[in-house]
């Protein structure tokens, strides 16, 4: 038995040994094959390297021979030049030409040597995982061409010396050349004024500008003409602009002088890079920074291709359109990053076959068509395609804008906007055929620009306003064939679906936005206690009682009539200085006379002019007369000034608040800030007089308020509820521009956002004294946000802005916009801020949720009614217990 077992084991061991031997032989064979393979590849690489070195040596020898021949030719030319020195002046010109010829040949050789010395690294990966590198100098051959280096013409590239003459001299010689021409701007910082690279260059077959340097524009505005380009290319064929260089317009120094938002006859600042009457142009890989006006403009160009362009300017920089196209055809703009203070891309009049793809836009005003219809004889727009773009944090997404009162007829048709992603965009899709950026516009006739065959497809994302799609078309020529297909836009908060509105439009919807209703109808504020008709009275002060004689004004009515009479001189003065209105002084006098007559009529018959008079009627009649005379916003200039001052202080005010660690004390400081901001009310005659005499400081005003207890003081009760951080949504009716909204309300709203509360800011639809409007508030917040969309480190995705539908400094809550009603329906705190909205009206209004009325008493009549003092504070808080 043991012998049998031993035989089996011996056999197994023998078979195992044979198998191992076979495996070892196989491994040895494979290793030899691998070594042979590696040696063969190494021989190939060595042979290739030897061939490259031999070719390099041959080329270097050829260059040496050419240099020697060039040297000899130059010596001969010098001899000829010395002989010709005494000849006529035209001979001098010939000598110059000979010198230029020699210089050009030298530059060619220099370029050839640079190309020869290009380093290429080849990586060879061995089978055993180890690698080695072969570094070889391989000649790169280029077709023969002329190269003009701006440094050879005297450019210093030190960032201080004006190099304009060197650029112009280099260009003149390049344009005179023949064949393929290259203009080189090497790396360095170049300070230049306005330069024009103008053609035609008759003998140039193609022209390439290698912009490798950093160009800085001179800040002297006197050197630029209105509407010109800083760097301008014109009347050229087959131009390529490339090289990765930068055009820095130094716009920050010029933006304060841009008054085009208020003056239709303003001087236009220069565009960074302007192309005029070009054909077959390619722009690739350049950067435009901080332009004084537009970054890039195309005027009367054909066959233009722009790609990999970077454009950057602050969100508040005025009129810094990224790329503006006008009267051009066959234009393609793609794969570019644009963030600026106005339209990322604007398509003006007279364009056809324009394609825009793969653009990242934001900040800015989105991608716009228009404005159209401002001037006579404008060309039509057709064949526009915008596709595969991302728009983030902008005021608008896709916007089409045409002027009312257009002097001539034109059309915009056959336009497609497809596969576009919106993120936190205020107006994702908007058609506005009553466009006017100036405060002096009086719409008497509908727009004559016909919009038709417009397609919005596959548009998705989030809107920061309730109305994500707003189509407001011309009453005279309604929009036709507007198609919305697979349009899905939600509120940034995700709580409710965004809505849409249509006016004078024939649209076809396919899986598109829901709730396409008119936004023009006013509705009651949904959180007022019902029945509204029996309980709600807008005006706080009882102007008359049932027992009063309807034919005689009451003492209270007479007080308020006199109050408005006394304000006429200050309103007249502001109207006289409104530069946007023709014959402003004459019209201001008419306003004073007409409004004065209306107020005197009330003294005789309180039922005249729709009376009896109260604060709402008196305000409304004043605004009606101003607007009938062309005065849309007589406080515009001072509002802009106060906004700029307040924005500069915003960071300091927020940091002071954040430094207070105790929640209760920080809240009280925020409340004091609201009162201090509300002091800055130029609509109040008393405060306007104080400002004109000695001015006021916001921070000082915070400390110098009337001491507590105030005339109405529920702050302690509010503190208790505040500490619970239980409000999910707060609606705040805002008041004035400047310090009021920026230094008072916005820090308060920011603190609520930090609590996780959603905040809806409701602002006026139209200007009224110095109150902030819906559009102005959007611009203010855009300027205050950082590049991440935050407000001093606080996320603003829960901050919404709503149009209240109101156009007065007081408000009747039975008439608000549908937008506001929609957003406010589930709020659990309503804040009415300011004397007009929270004291003169709505002080005793009752709501279904908690409410706060906060403001400063700025009229003696109101102070007397409340039993307080002038400049006393009202902080009226009502908590609704579920």
Q: Is the pLDDT of residue 125 over 60?
A: no
Q: Is the pLDDT of residue 794 over 80?
A: yes
DSSP state of 770: T
Q: Is the pLDDT of residue 304 over 50?
A: yes
688-703 mean pLDDT: 52
How far apart, in whole angstroms, are the C-alpha atoms of residue 732 and residue 646? Answer: 20
Residue 788 structure tokens: 């991440």
pLDDT, tens only, 207-232: 999 999 999 999 988 899 888 899 99
- Least confident range from 53-57, 389-393, 544-548, 682-686: namely 682-686
How far apart, in whole angstroms, are the C-alpha atoms of residue 644 and residue 814? Answer: 34
Which among 737, 849, 727 is positioned nearest to 798, based on CA atoms? 727
**How far lies 191's CA from each of 158, 163, 272, 288, 376, in Å?**
8, 6, 13, 15, 39
Percentage with pLDDT > 90 across the chain: 49
Which among 345, 337, 343, 352 is positioned nearest to 303, based on CA atoms? 352
How far apart, in whole angstroms, are the C-alpha atoms of residue 581 and residue 571? Answer: 15
pLDDT, tens only, 255-295: 998 887 777 778 889 999 999 999 999 999 999 999 999 99
Cβ atoms of 750 and 792 closer than 8 Å: yes
Nearby residues of 293 by Cβ (< 8 Å), 6 or more positions away: 251, 258, 268, 269, 270, 271, 272, 319, 320, 321
Average pLDDT, the chain: 83
**How far lies 684's CA from each of 110, 689, 871, in Å?**
74, 9, 11
Nearby residues of 154 by Cβ (< 8 Å), 6 or more positions away: 163, 165, 166, 169
Cβ atoms of 821 and 783 closer than 8 Å: no
Which has more confidence, 110 or 251?
Answer: 251
Which among 233, 266, 229, 267 is positioned nearest to 249, based on CA atoms? 229
Residue 517 structure tokens: 């209703």
pLDDT band at 683 (very low <50, low <70, confident <90, very high): very low
pLDDT at 145: 53
Q: What is the number of other CB atoms lying within 10 angstroms of the CB of residue 800?
A: 24
Nearby residues of 441 by Cβ (< 8 Å), 6 or more positions away: 404, 405, 632
Nearby residues of 286 by Cβ (< 8 Å), 6 or more positions away: 211, 241, 242, 243, 244, 245, 246, 247, 273, 309, 310
DSSP state of 771: B
pLDDT, tens only, 445-480: 889 999 988 989 889 899 998 899 999 999 889 998
DSSP string computed for 430-450: EEEEEE--STT----S---EE
Q: Is the pLDDT of residue 520 over 80?
A: no
pLDDT at 842: 92
For residue 230, give the 3-state DSSP assignment: strand
**How far lies 407's CA from each of 468, 529, 630, 838, in Å?**
31, 50, 19, 44
Q: Is the pLDDT of residue 199 over 80?
A: yes
- Least confident range from 96-105, 287-296, 608-617: namely 96-105
How far apart, in whole angstroms, are the C-alpha atoms of residue 203 and residue 875? Answer: 79
Q: Is the pLDDT of residue 2 over 80?
A: no
**What is the CB-side half-sphere exposure of residue 477 using CA atoms within 13 A?**
21
Active site residue 365: yes
pLDDT at 179: 93
- Least confident range from 258-262, 617-621, 737-741: namely 258-262
662 burial (CB, 10 Å; 0-12 / 13-18 / 19+) is: exposed
Cβ atoms of 235 and 198 closer than 8 Å: yes
Residue 210: which H helix or E strand, with range?
A: strand 204-211
Q: Is the pLDDT of residue 124 over 90?
A: no
Percentage with pLDDT > 70 across the chain: 82
What b/e sequence results for 575-589 when a residue is b if at least 16 CB atoms lie within 10 Å of its CB, and e otherwise?
bbebebbeebeebbe
**What is the CB-side half-sphere exposure of residue 495 using CA atoms within 13 A?**
19
**What is the CB-side half-sphere exposure of residue 258 using CA atoms within 13 A?**
21
The most confident of the ranges 32-36, 101-105, 246-250 is 246-250
Helix %, strand %, coil % for the chain, to 5?
35, 30, 35
pLDDT, tens only, 720-729: 999 998 999 9
How far apart, in whole angstroms, are the C-alpha atoms of residue 430 and residue 501? Answer: 10
pLDDT band at 43 (very low <50, low <70, confident <90, very high): confident
Q: Is the pLDDT of residue 682 over 60?
A: no
How far apart, in whole angstroms, are the C-alpha atoms of residue 356 and residue 331? Answer: 8
For residue 810, give the 3-state DSSP assignment: coil
DSSP string computed for 295-353: SEEEES-EEEEEES-EEE--TT-TT--SEEEES-EEEEEEEEEEE-SS-SEEE-TT-EE
pLDDT at 110: 41
- Least confident range from 94-108, 156-170, 340-354, 828-842: namely 94-108
pLDDT, tens only, 81-98: 554 444 333 333 333 333
In this structure, what are the phi and psi dihedrals at residue 361, rounded to the nearest 5 degrees?
-115, 130
Q: Is the pLDDT of residue 144 over 60?
A: no
pLDDT, tens only, 523-539: 899 999 865 555 778 88
Which has more confidence, 267 or 670?
Answer: 670
pLDDT at 183: 96
pLDDT at 101: 35
How far apart, in whole angstroms, are the C-alpha atoms of residue 460 and residue 93? Answer: 66
For residue 511, give the 3-state DSSP assignment: coil
- Least confident range from 113-117, 317-321, 758-762: namely 113-117
pLDDT at 91: 35
Q: Is the pLDDT of residue 514 over 80?
A: no
673-684 mean pLDDT: 72
How far apart, in whole angstroms, are the C-alpha atoms of residue 121 and residue 118? Answer: 10
Q: pTM score, two decimals?
A: 0.50
Q: How far apart are the first and last CA of the chain?
A: 98
Which among 191, 207, 198 is positioned nearest to 241, based on CA atoms? 207
pLDDT at 441: 66
How far apart, in whole angstroms, are the C-alpha atoms of residue 392 and residue 119? Answer: 42
The single residue of 365, 488, 609, 755 carrying the catalytic annotation is: 365
Cβ atoms of 184 and 149 closer than 8 Å: yes
Q: Any idea which residue has 């003149």 for tokens? A: 172
Which among 100, 127, 102, 136 is positioned nearest to 31, based on CA atoms? 127
Q: What is the number of other CB atoms lying within 10 angstroms of the CB of residue 205?
A: 12
Which among 830, 732, 767, 545 is positioned nearest to 638, based on CA atoms? 767
pLDDT band at 233 (very low <50, low <70, confident <90, very high): very high
Query: What's the chain's Rg over C-alpha atoms?
Result: 37
Cβ atoms of 393 and 369 closer than 8 Å: no
């Amino acid at each position: 038995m043991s012998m049998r077992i031993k035989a089996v084991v011996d056999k197994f061991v023998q078979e195992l040994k044979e198998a191992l031997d076979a495996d070892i032989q196989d491994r040895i064979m494979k290793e030899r094959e691998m070594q042979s393979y590696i040696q063969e590849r190494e021989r190939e690489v060595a042979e290739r390297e030897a061939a490259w070195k031999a070719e390099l040596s041959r080329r270097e020898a050829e260059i040496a021979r050419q240099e020697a021949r060039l040297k000899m030719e130059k010596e001969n030319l010098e001899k000829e030049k010395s002989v010709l020195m005494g000849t006529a002046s035209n001979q001098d010109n010939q000598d110059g030409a000979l010198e230029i010829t020699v210089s050009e040949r030298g530059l060619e050789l220099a370029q050839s040597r640079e190309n020869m010395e290009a380093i290429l690294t080849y990586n060879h990966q061995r089978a055993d995982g180890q690698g080695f590198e072969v570094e070889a100098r391989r000649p790169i051959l280029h077709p023969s061409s002329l190269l003009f280096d701006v440094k050879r013409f005297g450019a210093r590239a030190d960032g201080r010396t004006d190099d304009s003459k060197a650029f112009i001299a280099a260009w003149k010689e390049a344009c005179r050349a023949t064949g393929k021409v290259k203009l080189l701007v090497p790396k360095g910082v170049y300070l230049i004024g306005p330069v024009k690279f103008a053609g035609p260059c008759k003998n140039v077959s193609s022209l390439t500008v290698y912009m490798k340097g950093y160009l800085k524009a001179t800040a002297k505005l006197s050197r630029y003409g209105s509407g010109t380009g800083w760097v301008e290319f014109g009347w050229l064929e087959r131009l390529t602009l490339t090289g990765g260089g930068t055009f820095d317009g130094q716009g920050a120094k010029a933006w304060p002088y841009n008054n085009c938002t208020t003056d239709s006859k303003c001087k236009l600042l220069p565009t960074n890079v302007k192309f005029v009457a070009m054909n077959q142009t390619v722009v690739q890989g350049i950067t435009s920074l901080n332009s004084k006006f537009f970054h890039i403009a195309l005027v009367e160009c054909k066959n233009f291709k722009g790609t990999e362009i970077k454009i950057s300017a602050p969100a508040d920089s005025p009129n810094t359109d990224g790329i503006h196209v006008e009267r051009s055809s066959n234009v393609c703009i793609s794969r570019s990053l644009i963030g600026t203070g106005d339209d990322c891309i604007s398509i003006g009049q007279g364009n056809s076959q324009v394609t825009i793809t793969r653009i990242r836009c934001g900040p800015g005003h989105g991608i716009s068509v228009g404005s159209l219809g401002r001037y006579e004889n404008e060309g039509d727009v057709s064949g526009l395609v915008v596709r595969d773009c991302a728009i983030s944090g902008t005021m608008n997404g896709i916007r089409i804008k045409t002027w009312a009162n257009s002097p001539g007829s034109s059309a915009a048709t056959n336009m497609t906007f497809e596969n576009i992603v919106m993120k936190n965009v205020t107006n994702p899709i908007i058609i506005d055929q009553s466009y006017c950026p100036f405060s002096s516009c009086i719409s008497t006739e509908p727009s004559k620009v016909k919009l038709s065959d417009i397609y919005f497809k596959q548009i998705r994302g989030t809107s920061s306003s309730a109305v994500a799609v707003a189509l407001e078309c011309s009453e005279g020529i309604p929009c036709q064939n507007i198609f919305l297909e697979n349009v899905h836009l939600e509120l940034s908060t995700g709580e409710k679906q965004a809505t849409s509105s249509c006016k004078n439009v024939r649209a076809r919807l396919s899986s598109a936005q829901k709730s396409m209703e008119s936004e023009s109808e006013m509705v009651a504020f949904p959180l007022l206690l019902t029945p509204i008709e029996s309980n709600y009275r807008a005006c706080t002060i009882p102007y008359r009682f049932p027992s009063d004689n309807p034919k005689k004004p009451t003492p209270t009515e007479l007080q308020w009539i006199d109050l408005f009479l006394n304000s006429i001189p200050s309103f007249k003065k502001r109207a006289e200085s409104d530069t946007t209105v023709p014959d402003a002084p004459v019209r201001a006098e008419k306003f004073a006379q007409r409004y004065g007559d209306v107020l005197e009529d009330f003294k005789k018959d309180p039922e005249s002019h729709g009376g009896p008079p109260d604060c709402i009627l008196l305000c409304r009649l004043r605004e009606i007369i101003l607007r009938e005379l062309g005065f849309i916003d007589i406080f515009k200039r001072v509002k802009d000034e106060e906004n700029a001052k307040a924005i500069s202080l915003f960071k300091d005010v927020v940091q002071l608040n954040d430094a207070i660690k105790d929640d209760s004390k920080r809240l009280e400081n925020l409340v004091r800030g609201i009162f201090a901001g509300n002091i800055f009310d130029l609509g109040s005659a008393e405060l306007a007089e104080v400002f004109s005499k000695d001015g006021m400081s916001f921070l000082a005003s915070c400390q110098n308020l009337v001491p507590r207890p105030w005339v109405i003081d529920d702050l302690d009760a509010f503190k208790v509820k505040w500490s619970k951080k239980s409000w999910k949504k707060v609606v705040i009716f805002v008041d004035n521009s400047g310090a009021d909204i920026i230094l008072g309300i916005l820090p308060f709203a920011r603190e609520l956002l930090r609590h996780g509360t959603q905040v809806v800011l409701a602002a006026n639809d139209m200007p009224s004294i110095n109150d902030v409007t819906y559009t102005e508030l959007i611009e203010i917040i855009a300027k205050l946000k950082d590049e991440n969309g935050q407000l001093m480190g606080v996320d603003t995705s829960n901050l919404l802005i709503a149009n209240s539908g109101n156009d007065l400094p007081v408000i009747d809550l039975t008439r608000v916009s549908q937008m506001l009603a929609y957003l406010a329906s589930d709020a659990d705190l309503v804040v009415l801020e300011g004397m007009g909205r929270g004291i003169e009206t709505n002080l005793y209004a009752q709501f279904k949720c908690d409410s706060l009325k906060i403001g400063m008493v700025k009229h003696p009549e109101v102070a007397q009614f409340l039993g307080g003092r002038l400049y006393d504070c009202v902080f009226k808080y009502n908590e609704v217990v579920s």
